[in-house]
C-alpha cells in the first residue's frame, strides 16, 4: 500500500519532463505558453475521467484492486488527483510527437468534408453508440471509446470551435496522428507502471481477454486511439479557446471560428 501516494508525482514528473523536452526542441511548450491554461488541463481531466468511471459502472470493464482499503472520501481524493493527470499527459506527449519531422507526412492527406450531412451523421451515430453501450454493454462496450467523440465533435463544428473535422477538411491529419501516438505512448506507460502497483486496476473485457500486454488485453490498446480524440473534442467543448497544440510546422492559429458545417 504505497503506490496511491506515488501515482500523481510520477505522472506530474513525466508531464513536466516531456513539456521541457518540447521546449528544448522547439523553444515553446504548453506550459511556457500559458501556465494558467496548462493548469486548466488538470482541472478538466477530473470530470472527464469521472465520466468514464460512471460509464464503467454499466460496462464493468475495469476494477480497482485495493479499493476496500479506503474510505469513500479517501478514494475520491486519491482517485481525483490521479485522474487529473490524464489530459496533460496525453496532450504533452502529442505535442512532443509533433516536434519530429515525420509528422509532416500527414499534413496533406485525404480530405474529409465537414458537410452538414456528415456532422448530423456523426451526432446520430454517437448517440446510437452510447445507447447500445447502455442497453447491451457486454457486446457494445468498445463504443464507450468512440461515442463521445461522435457526439461532441459536430457540436464543436456547429459552434465554430476548433475541431478534428475542420483539420481533416483541409487534409491535415497531423493532430490526429500526434494524438493517437501520444495516447498509445501514455497507455503503454499507464499499463506498465500499473502492473506491479498496489492498489492497481485490472480488466474484464468480454471476447478479448487474451494476448495481454501487462494487465491490458492487446486489442484493448486500440481504445486509446478514439479516446485521444474524445479528450481533444471535450476540452474544446468545455473551453472556447483552449491552448492550441502545436503539431509539426506550426504557422500560427488559423481562424477556424468561421469554419462550420457546410451544406452537402
Instruction: Report the alpha-carbon angle 258-262-264, nearest 5.
Output: 175
pLDDT recorded at residue 249 = 57
C-alpha cell at 223: 481504445
Residue 128, CA distances (Å) to 122, 123, 135, 139, 218 in order: 10, 9, 10, 14, 26
pLDDT recorded at residue 264 = 41
How many angstroms separate the CA atoms of 47 and 226, rounded? 18
How many angstroms separate the CA atoms of 147 and 2, rounded? 35
How many angstroms separate the CA atoms of 224 and 188, rounded? 10
pLDDT recorded at residue 16 = 98
pLDDT recorded at residue 252 = 39
How many angstroms separate the CA atoms of 111 and 213, rounded? 35
* H-run or E-run covering 254: none
Residue 30, CA distances (Å) to 19, 80, 206, 210, 262 in order: 7, 22, 38, 38, 32
pLDDT recorded at residue 194 = 96
pLDDT recorded at residue 245 = 87
How many angstroms separate the CA atoms of 110 and 143, rounded? 25
pLDDT digits (tens, 9 = 90+) for 163-211: 999 999 999 999 999 999 999 999 999 999 999 999 999 999 999 999 9
pLDDT recorded at residue 259 = 45
pLDDT recorded at residue 243 = 78
pTM for the structure as a whole: 0.92
Per-residue pLDDT of the chain in tens (264 residues, 90 and over written 9) = 888 999 999 999 999 999 999 999 999 999 999 999 999 999 999 999 999 999 999 999 999 999 999 999 999 999 999 999 999 999 999 999 999 999 999 999 999 988 999 999 999 999 999 999 999 999 999 999 999 999 999 999 999 998 999 999 999 999 999 999 999 999 999 999 999 999 999 999 999 999 999 999 999 999 999 999 999 999 999 988 887 888 875 443 443 444 455 444
pLDDT recorded at residue 248 = 72
Q: Are the C-beta atoms of 96 and 182 separated by less than 8 Å?
A: yes
pLDDT recorded at residue 25 = 95
Amino acid at each position: 500500500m504505497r503506490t496511491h501516494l506515488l501515482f500523481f508525482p510520477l505522472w506530474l514528473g513525466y508531464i513536466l519532463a516531456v513539456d521541457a523536452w518540447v521546449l528544448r526542441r522547439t523553444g515553446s511548450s504548453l506550459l511556457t505558453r500559458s501556465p494558467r491554461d496548462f493548469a486548466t488541463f488538470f482541472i478538466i481531466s477530473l470530470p472527464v475521467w469521472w465520466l468514464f468511471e460512471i460509464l464503467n459502472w454499466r460496462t464493468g470493464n475495469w476494477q480497482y484492486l485495493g479499493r476496500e482499503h479506503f474510505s469513500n472520501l479517501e478514494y475520491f481524493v486519491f482517485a481525483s488527483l490521479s485522474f487529473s493527470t490524464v489530459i496533460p499527459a496525453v496532450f504533452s506527449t502529442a505535442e512532443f510527437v509533433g516536434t519530429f519531422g515525420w509528422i509532416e507526412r500527414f499534413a496533406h492527406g485525404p480530405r474529409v468534408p465537414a458537410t452538414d450531412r456528415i456532422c448530423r451523421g456523426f451526432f446520430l451515430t454517437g448517440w446510437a453508440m452510447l445507447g447500445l453501450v447502455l442497453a447491451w454493454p457486454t457486446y457494445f462496450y468498445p463504443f464507450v471509446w468512440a461515442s463521445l467523440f461522435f457526439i461532441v465533435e459536430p457540436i464543436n463544428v456547429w459552434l465554430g470551435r476548433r475541431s478534428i473535422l475542420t483539420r481533416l477538411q483541409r487534409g491535415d491529419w497531423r493532430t490526429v496522428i500526434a494524438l493517437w501516438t501520444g495516447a498509445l505512448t501514455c497507455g503503454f506507460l499507464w499499463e506498465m507502471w500499473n502492473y506491479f502497483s498496489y492498489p492497481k486496476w485490472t480488466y474484464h473485457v468480454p471476447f478479448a481477454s487474451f494476448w495481454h500486454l501487462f494487465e491490458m488485453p492487446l486489442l484493448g490498446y486500440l481504445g486509446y486511439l478514439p479516446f485521444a480524440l474524445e479528450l481533444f473534442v471535450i476540452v474544446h467543448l468545455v473551453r472556447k479557446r483552449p491552448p492550441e497544440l502545436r503539431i509539426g510546422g506550426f504557422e500560427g492559429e488559423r481562424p477556424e471560428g468561421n469554419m462550420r458545417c457546410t451544406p452537402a
